[in-house]
């Protein structure tokens, strides 16, 4: 996985960070990964934008300091709530806590 970070917008300087996906995340290699930012711990939240009714939905967290990825399966998602009529739908996840935007 390669992450590009804009270091200086005026000079258009970019920094790239590359991490090798562990074998337990092998199934993530074939999907289009998306991100909307980091959570309060500083981990990057990564997820598949395509929600497929035949596959479980996972959110992954990348720790920049430890250079590790953890994978979390989201359970109990009802098909009718998020999935399209043809079995697929696009998903967007946003990091942070909705009730309190101040991180302690």
Instruction: Evaluate whether residue 6 is within a structural domain.
Output: no
Q: Does any domain span residue 51?
A: yes
Structural domains in the chain (count):
1
- Are 50 and 93 a contacting pair, CB within 8 Å? no
Give me the mean pLDDT over the 4-33 stretch. 74
Residue 87 has pLDDT above 70, yes or no: no
- Residue 11's pLDDT band (cuts 50, 70, 90): very high
Whether 45 contacts 97, CB under 8 Å: no
pLDDT of 30 > 60? The answer is no
Domain that holds residue 70: 19-90
Report pLDDT for 23: 63
What's the rounded Cα separation, in Å, for the pair 66 and 62? 9
Residue 69 reports pLDDT greater than 70: yes
**Could you tell me if 48 and 91 are in contact, meaning their C-beta atoms sit under 8 angstroms apart?**
yes
Mean pLDDT of 53-72: 81
Whether the full predicted model's pTM is greater than 0.85, yes or no, is no
């Amino acid at each position: 996985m390669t992450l590009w970070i804009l270091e200086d917008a005026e000079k258009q300087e970019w920094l790239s960070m590359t991490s090798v996906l562990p074998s337990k995340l092998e199934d993530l290699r074939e999907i289009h990964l998306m991100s909307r930012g980091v959570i309060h711990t500083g981990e990057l939240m990564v997820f598949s934008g395509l929600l497929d009714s035949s596959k479980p939905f996972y959110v992954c967290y990348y720790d920049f300091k430890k250079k590790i990825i953890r994978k979390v399966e989201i359970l109990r998602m009802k098909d009718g709530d998020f999935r399209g009529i043809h079995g697929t739908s696009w998903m967007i996840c946003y990091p942070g806590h909705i009730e309190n935007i101040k991180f302690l």
